Structure 1
Amino acid sequence: MKRTIKNESGLHAPTKTILEQERKVLLDLGNDITKVREKNDLITLFKNRIKGLFYFTHTIITLIDHKDETYYAFLLDNEGSPIRTHPRYREMVAARFSLNAPFIQAVLTSDEPVSYILEDIMDKPQSPPFLRVNYEGGVREILMTKLMKEGKPMGFIHMYSDRTDSFNPEFRGVMKGIAPQLSGAVSNIIKNEELLNKEKEKSFLLDFSSNIAAVRTKEDLMSAVRTALHKLDQKSGFVIRCINEDKTTMSAYVYDLGSAADEKSLSVLVKAKYPINDGLQNRVLNSSIPLLFNVEREIQRGITSAYLQYWKKMGFENFVGIRLRNGETNLGILLLDIEEIKIELLQGICAQISIALANIMANEQISKKQEEQAFLLDFSSALTKMRTKDELQAAIFEVLDKIMNTQLAMIRVLEDDGVHLSVFMFDRRLFGKAHADFDKLAANKIKIDETYTAQVLASKEGVVFNVDEELRSGNDYAKLWKTTGLRNMYGLPLRMGDKIIGTIWLLADFLGPLLLKGICSQITVAVANILANEKLLAYKKQLEIENDYLKEQIKTIYNFSEIIGSGESMQEVYRLMGLVAESSTTVLILGETGTGKELIARAIHNASPRKENLMVKVNCAALPANLIESELFGHERGAFTGATDRRIGKFEMADNSTLFLDEIGELPLEAQAKLLRVIQERELERVGGKQVIKINVRLVAATNRNLEEEVKAGRFRADLYFRLNVFPIILPPLRDRLEDIEALTHFFVKKYSRSTGRTIRKIAPRVIQQLRSYTWPGNVRELEHLIERSILLATDSTLSDVFIPRNADADKQEQAFLLNRSLEEVERGYIIETLKRCGGKISGTGSAAEVLQIPGNTLHSKMKKLGITKSDYFS
């Protein structure tokens, strides 16, 4: 018996010896607890240590689930528990109890262990049922100690006794002291269990992966999945649904619903096709993680799919849906009757199932087509050797009639206009009794919106027309079909990828859909090859011409790196170019010869959204009058004498790009009228053709003529002028861009130094002055050629002289002009003009004095004498 003494408050306090014994107990317990790794270790600790010190019947450790504010049994002392034979024992072990019960709230708010007499609390409102069950098992008192982790309650230690005096202060002190160590031990146990579970899951997935690798058939897959789910104690059932070929529905592929499914329900579930977008299956397919569903809740949400009703009838309450995906392709979904989601484990299982499922489906597709491969291979072999329409027709007739008892009625191909279908091939023997009717119907021009043709073209797999039914409906074609004695007409679209090239019509009593598709595919390829061969011959010469043209254009595209010029006049040009480049607006470039109109046109094109396509150039002045229309709009074979092949015009070549019409003012009036129509309608017809061709061309036109004067003179159509003059850009002549001459000179010197092999490192100032003083009737082009000539004539690395040409007519005009003026007027005008060209510089290098070859002081004196001021030579 432990001895105690009374303290000042009258309560019994433990003696020093007893306190030392308690410390030793706590130390020993702490040392033992640190060794705890499993639940059984903790049970042993309670039995061997605590029961040796104090009296109690049994203990339980519960854990708190903060998400739903409940606690549940974690560690049970099954051998010592007096209620293990109670009828409700298993129920209590599996149950979860609310943290909101008053007696639990008292424990949570207390820093000390709390004890209760069961008789006092077990029947109070919100008290958990395990109190009554323990009382019925002989328990009379409970001691509750809170377990903490990181400052937050993680669970409780429940100590039970069949007496009401077991939990004395010493017992409580020990429990309070040992609670932190127990909290750590429980945390370690939880962590170890998590690690063990992960190891088990990894081991399970490895075993499942090994099993799934051996799967070759649907039956193997079902067996492997069933075995795996049984290992997870999941025995209610599963369904694997695959996406059907229509891509809009899913059907059961592999399933095991256990004994819950009756034969009738199972038959319905297996055979039915359920829409993917039913509000449930599409959610699974679109989710990267497993989804948990409640059957009743989904029905209440309005999901009308019949399988939910069947599952409810079979007693399924909750199920998990996981998508099955191979790479980026959804194959289907896995539905499991399950209560709890283990996301990583289920994802691992489904990854393995997806691989096996993809392999099985691929093998099934191969097996399904094996019976047809021999025929289609022979058929393909025969067709690929055909190079002409007659050879193809003979091969098709022979194979279809001999092997399949099928007759080719007609093949029609889509014309270039995309609207009409013309006869390509038919078997006239089929309609021996109705040749006249057949010839009449075959000669008709069929459009793609014709009733039966439209149905066929709109279908994916073709349309089957029953001859008798069509005959009763008044189908004129059915009268011909009836004469063959065959029951069905099969109409299929001929498609190369997404492009329709025509239709095929086959008569037979019956054709399987897969074989029919294979035949159609082979014939499509053969027809496309023949059409391609025919077009290849027709376009061969034209492509050679276009290739030469494109090579020439490519050379010129990259012959400039930038437009040179920074003066005020060129800045205005750049501003206008920037405004119009991004649009598709027609641009009219006006300027003298040699000002760089083509350079501006290319710059506008290269800054536009059409820059990825080649700009097409047409020099209207260089086109022969009799070939203008052919060059611009193209011609059909035989359109005129010498038109041996079809020719693509410049407008068609520039489709989705830019067409540059240089020297537009030189175009004859007749050609102007036709050009106007193309600009207005955005469509054209080739010479000699009937097909209307839509075009998307951005027009840039250029001329050195004054089109307004040309219109007044009747040499240019006013309506065409207004169509072209939407956004005019006027290029200034070089004589108005004196500030750009130096930059242009350096550019051309660098360019032609490189191309001629000369090394020009310096340009003499007098050269720039000479260039600035010239009037440049030929503009930038004249400057370029003059620099090239001067570089070739240069004798060292300095360009010290340029050879500006003299214009005889200009000299005569100048002489006549001078004869009518006094010597003083001539001298004054000459000095002012020289000062302007020298930028107002009077003396020094590059000055007017240097150009006039007189001293600076002399020039100052002359200017004063002649009354020349800054206002005369500065604008």
Structure 2
Amino acid sequence: MYKLIKKISDMEFGMDYYQRERQVILQLSEDITRIHKKADLMALLSLRIKSYFYYVHAIVTLIDETENVYRPFILDPTSSPLRDHPEYPTLIKTGFDLDEPFIQQVLAADGPVSFLLEEVISHPKSPSFLRVNYACGIKEILMTPLKSNGRTVAFLHVYADNKDSFTPAFRSLIKGIAPQISHAVSNVIRNELIVQKEENNKILLDASYDLSGVRNREDLAMAVRQSLKRLKALKGYVICTINDDRLTTSTYIYDNITMPENEDLSEMLDFQYLINDGLQDRVLASPIPIFINIDSEIDRGITANYICFWKSMGFRKMIGVALRNGNTDLGILWIGIDDINLTLLKGICLQISIAMANIMANDALVKKQEQQQLLLNFCDDIAGVRTKADLRVAIFNVFDKLLNTKLAMLNLLEDDGLTLRHYMWDESLFHHVKDSFEERLNARLDIHENYTVRVLNSNDAIILNVEEELKRDPGNPYAQLWKEVGFKYTYATALRVGNTDIGTLWVLSDAINREFIKGICSQISVACANIRANERILAYKRILETENELLKEQMKTIYNFEEIIGRGDAMQKVYGLMSMVAESNSTVLLTGETGTGKELIARAIHNASSRKNKVMVKVNCAALPANLIESELFGHEKGAFTGALEKRIGKFEMANNGTLFLDEIGEMPLDAQVKLLRVLQEKELERIGGTTTIKVNVRIIAATNRNLATEVAEGRFRSDLFYRLNVFPIHLPPLRDRRSDIALLAQFFLDRYSKNTGKNVKVLSARVIKELNGYSWPGNVRELEHVIERSVLMTTDSVIRDVYLPVKSDDAVNETNVSNRTLEQVERAHIIDTLKRCAGKLAGPGGAAEYLDVPSTTLHSKLKKLGIKKSDYFAE
């Protein structure tokens, strides 16, 4: 210290003062010219000048005119007594106001100006660094404005811990070297800018290199993190991309290293955010990055859940940057960071935007190729479709490969061109809204329904936003159903082949790919048309096959119609009635006991009518279960009831323009009689499960072995149906009332079965004919036929000498036989005889149980006990 004071004294009071001052200034100026870095200038201030004068430490602050502040630029942390003060980290980053009185005095001075800290720190606008220096023992500050081109660009601060350090000689020295220090500061700034520019260029080049090699999202996420990491202080980032609807954004990539993996984050990543939320729209509208203070935004009313999530993660500030490729907004980059080089950030974001655009374009190309391949595969699947089941598999396969896209409903137009049939749907969509869905499913749908009209009248598909549809019409049941299912959009299009509408297709989705679904729908239209054509062909084929079987059956018995066996008066009366009614279209009711030949008479009437070129369709009403009679007569649609696996054409449709023979009409249940009556009166019907009315032109010939008048009186047959059928009744006499025809019929059957069995049996013996004439024939002609057939099979001669009759007709013989039998044998014979007279029917009206006056269960028990088999009483 003594030597330093001695030097100063010599400079101030020696004879060569000015010469030595000049030498010091020249030496310092020469040193200053070699300054290119902050460290060089700091060494000058902390070492060289200190070798001539005493002070504690010195710093340089730089003026920022854009913010009208001055900030620390060059510091001396080694000498500064402030380095351990808690406010030191804040002070070195703070910008101090240029308008406060303290610094205004410095700006107005031509050279160095000093202040005693105790005098200036009490001023309310004094900068805080004065107070902190005073607290650390500094007494006086010397401030020197550093100018360049006549404009102050920086300040030199020199601090002393006593009040006498800044002597005139020191002030003179500082004033002398101030221009050189100003120039040195400019050089340092210039050099730092050059170095910073080189570093920035390197960062941008490295970022460009990293981003140029990305091919997918995973590569992009890693490259973005590496690029942003070079900007320092990175806490995490998220890139949101704008969705195809241009209304929402979704998470594209994020920093999976710094972001925590938890349920909240997973939910955030899957969410779609509205762009117009007061924050995202601001970022997208801004040409520069926007700094976001999270607390301020929440206080301002921003309620987006992602900003609350950021706050919960501890972020206080975020930067949002719009990512653009040309004039197209791609998305937003959100960065959790306190400070950043905006120029670098903009450059990196430009590279990110280009990389994103390339990936999106590549993804779009790959997606388009996948969709094209999917369409090609679907076309291949559709080409092989022949049935509804095949079509269902093809449609569900293609929709399963589309995310969040499901078949809601496929409706087909009926033949009437007015109503639509629900043809196909995805049951998995509606399992949790079963009631409301089934209500819609059971509702009659026609082309005048509001949505159907819009779809069929549009040349293109329509896309409905479910929320908007509910706002427009809150009570709309279809929109309510779509909302309950949980999808955002409904895609509806008309299914057309050429210019012909064949139905409508409804698809539910969260993201509609219009062109792709349009391609699928065009293929579905063709497939549906082909399936319907194939179904019609199969239906016609079944009709033809049925007609063919009926024709074959007629061919087998055609010879019976050329000459019905019977010459007696009773049969001549029947022939007369047949000739009267055959040419007309009147309904005929054939009555008579079982086995009297009612079906033969029906066929003869048909073959003699104008309808003979059409088949006569037969329905045995007694042979069908009650629950199947309606389906048998009127047909049913596929799926009309459990077990209806395909569409069935009813007997009425098969007999259209022909004859329908309703055998055993008296056995028809009452509920079926009602529907039969309607068809007979209106000459139209609807299939079960169908909505289309079908016109029919059918002649009815009914037959029964019951007394329908008695059945009507006892409430088992509808009177209106009886009168509708009893237009032209023909009663067929039992064989016991036409004894003269027995021998003729027996010889006829003998010739038939001799030929069929290949035996040479020619005649019946006189004794056999006598036995036949003496038998009561409860089974009528059918029983006679079966007796002759059995006799032919049993004989070994050319003459039948014995016949095997169940009961002899001679009363005396009967009495003898009864006296020689056990009670069990008599009971067995009586039950068999009754069953024959009832045509084998056990229970119900007209059944054997009714005639025997026993419960049907008792009759079944007796059949089992007595060993009575079906072959004993019923001839097939």
Pick the TM interval, shorter chain: 0.3 to 0.5
What is the TM-score normalised by the length of structure 1? 0.47
TM-score of the superposition, structure 2-length normalised? 0.47
